[in-house]
A = this chain, B = another copy of it.
Amino acid sequence: MSLAGSRSRPDGPARGRPRSEAVERAILEGVMKLLEDGVPLAELSIERVARTAGVGKATIYRRWSGKEELFIDVVRAAEPPDPELPGSSMRDDLVVLLENLRQRGLASRSSALLHNAHAQIKSNPRIWAAYHDNVIAPRRRLVIDVLRRGQRNGELRPDVDVELANDLFVGPILVRSVLRPGAHLPEGLAEQIVDTVLAGLRPVSSTAS
């Protein structure tokens, strides 16, 4: 399922007055402002968003089919870009990816805002599926690619289940940042997790080359 359809006009050659990008930004910024101001997600009505952004309700409904679709775009707009991988080693790549994950759990916009929005998104299967396909899955793929490359390089035993390995790496971070928001995410956490799990995955004898 694609999210690319959100916010787009039906199709055909652009006729009539084009949609204002300024209005678009105003709406997304309005939602972020409200979330950052601590407005509970349940009180975040389209009506209120429209008032805050100085926009008509219909202008919102013209772009998004409802509260949920709008939130997905807000979340996507707040997502930091994917990190650049150093490529020096599987271990270093994993540290960078996990460090990126750790920082998402700290960032101002990506914490209170995302945490609430995630809860909302998760409560609707259709939206969750869209969010998963567009945000979660690509990141997951990134980790798994790194792991597979490690297997080809001999940095990881080829018989290791990369799906499980992925969860062993990202699980400990996510359990803190998503399920226990506000939990301690100290600076060396990513390295610590990577090294510990790698030690468990790469038994002493097999790596004694």
Contact = CB atoms under 8 A, between A and B. Distances in A.
B42 A124 contact: yes
Contacts of A172: 164, 167-168, 171-172
A167 B116 CA distance: 22
Interface of A: prevailing SS: helix
Bin chain A's interface residue count: 35 or more
Nearest to A206: B204
Contacts of A167: 171-172, 175-176
Interface in A164-194: 164, 167-168, 170-176, 178-180, 184, 189, 192-193
Interface of A: 40-42, 115-116, 119-120, 122-125, 132, 136, 163-164, 167-168, 170-176, 178-180, 184, 189, 192-193, 195-201, 203-207
